[in-house]
Structure formats: structure tokens, C-alpha cells
Structure 1
Amino acid sequence: MAMETIGLFKAITAKMNYLDQRQQVIAQNIANADTPNYRPHDLSKVDFSSVLKNVTGSHNIRPVTTHENHMPSAVSIDSPDSRESKTTYEVAPAGNAVIVEEQMVKAAKTTMDYNLMTTLYQKNVNMIRTALGRGQ
């Protein structure tokens, strides 16, 4: 069985590809930090909750309370994390709107997210190996 046919691996690979492309765009923004009239770019946000719905078959996944003393979950997995994006307030005298510090923070977050995806991928591969009796 190829790993690419398993839905979870498809979703992780899609997220890794997105993060790879985003890192390239951020690096381009940093490289053009001194270019006059350059505006920073970013990839449009991908709704990975829709990818998750495709993988899970549109089921609403909720944690299960297995004991009456457990607290019920207030949020389901498919509810997106709503964050406001701030507008760019700084513009250099040459008209360049790249804020290097902001781009570096985005690059660091993208790297952390990518590392998380590679860890998830590896953990799931190890779990499948264990299930097949091949160990780690």
C-alpha cells in the first residue's frame, strides 16, 4: 500500500507543500526588503478544515467523554481558529512595505509548522510499521 493513498498522509503532504511554497514567498519578501516600491506577498490561506472534512468523510469529529466526570468539549475540531490579520502600517521612504521582523516571524512560524508536519508524518509511519509488526 502506498502512503499517498492514505487520507491522513495526503493531508499532511498537502500542508507540507503549502508551507514549502509559503517559505519561498517569505524568503523572496526578505530578499526584496530594499527594493523600492516592493510590496510583500503571501500565499492565500488554505482552509485545511475542508481538507480534513475530505479526509474524514465530512464527519464532525468531537472528543468523546468516556466518564461522567469528564468535561464536555465546547469546540469541535472543524471550527477554524479565527485570527485577525493586521494591515501593514510601516512603509519605508522608498515605498517599500516589507517589514523584515514581521517576515522573519512568519518564516519562523512556517518552519515550526513544517517541522510539526514532518513529525506527524513520521509518527504515523512508525505507528503503521508497529501495526504491521515491523517495529520502529
Structure 2
Amino acid sequence: MDLNRIPLFAALTRKMDWLGDRQRVLAQNVANADTPGYRANELKPLSFRALMGGPIATNAAKLRPTAPMHLAGTTGQGEFRTEKAKDPYEITPSGNGVVLEQQIAKMADNQMQFAASTGLYKKHINMLRLALGRRGM
């Protein structure tokens, strides 16, 4: 049974993918906290339409199979668009716009959202198991 065919699981998976990419972007910001001229990046917020599987404006090229037996392929990691963080409230004399406290707070928020998403995922898996007559975890 492919759980991604169930809209709730597809939406939760998409949200966790977005949160994973956001964690990568935030980690890059922290890693470049001392780089002169570096400005913090942020992922474009995930819209409800994107969460429900609607069209997403990405820079990724679409892969097209050249033979009927070829697999369609995936876009891989980083399918969400990054943008420069708006109005950094603190810029160092070297031009760096990364505020470590702000990035750490965003990482904590990201962790809480990921924990909530995985918790929902587990609860719904257990609900499906119960509906099928199997014992949950």
C-alpha cells in the first residue's frame, strides 16, 4: 500500500521534506555567521496549495523519460526555493547579516514542527493498523 496516495500522508511527507530543506538552509546560515558580506537565507514558506500537491514554482528542470521503460526520476534534495531573509535587524561591520540567536530560534521552531509532523504521521499509521485489525505500536 502506497501511503503517499492518501492525501494526508502525502501532505505530511511534503511538509517534512520542506522542514528538512529548511534545516539545511538554517545550518548554512549558522555556518556562515562569520563570512563577510553573507546574508541569511530562508526557504520560501510552504503554501497550502503546495502542501496539497499543486504546482510549485521551482528552478528544477523536469526530467522526461526517453524510452517507455525508463523511470521518471526525482528532483532530489533542495526542491524548495530559497530567498534572502528580509530586513536583517543586525548587520556587522563586515556586512554579515546572520544573527545567531535568530537562527537558533528558527531551528528550534523547525524541530518542533518536525516532531509534530512525525507524531501525526505515527498516529495515523496506528489508526490505519487499528482499522485493519492489527495492533498499533
- The question of a shared fold, defined as TM-score above 0.5 by the shorter chain, is answered with yes
Could you list the per-position Cα deviations for residues 86-110 of structure 1 after superposition, in whole angstroms to 9, with x for gaps in the alignment? 7312101111000000000000000
**TM-score, length of structure 1 as denominator length:** 0.73
Name the one with the larger strand percent: 2
- Corresponding residue for 2:6? 6
Q: 1:9-48, CA deviations, whole angstroms, 9 ceiling, x for partnerless residues?
A: 0000000000000000000000000000000001111112
What residue is the counterpart of 1:103 in the other structure? 103
* Runs of 5+ unmatched residues, structure 2: 55-84
Q: What is the count of residue pairs matched by the alignment?
A: 106
Q: Displaced runs of 4+ in structure 1, greater than 4 A?
A: none
The structure whose Rg is larger is 1
1:26 maps to which residue? 26
1:69-127 CA distances to partner (integer Å, 9 max, x unpaired)?
xxxxxxxxxxxxxxxx9731210111100000000000000010001100000000000
Given the two structures, how large is their TM-score scaled by the length of structure 2?
A: 0.72
Which has more helix, going by share of residues? 1
2:26–2:107 Cα contact (<8 Å) kept:
yes
Amino acid at match of 2:107: A
Identity over the aligned pairs, expressed in percent? 45
2:3 maps to a residue whose letter is: M
Cross-structure match for 1:116: 116
Q: Distance in 2 between matches of 1:108 and 1:4?
A: 27
Measured on the aligned residues, the alpha-carbon RMSD in Å equals 1.8
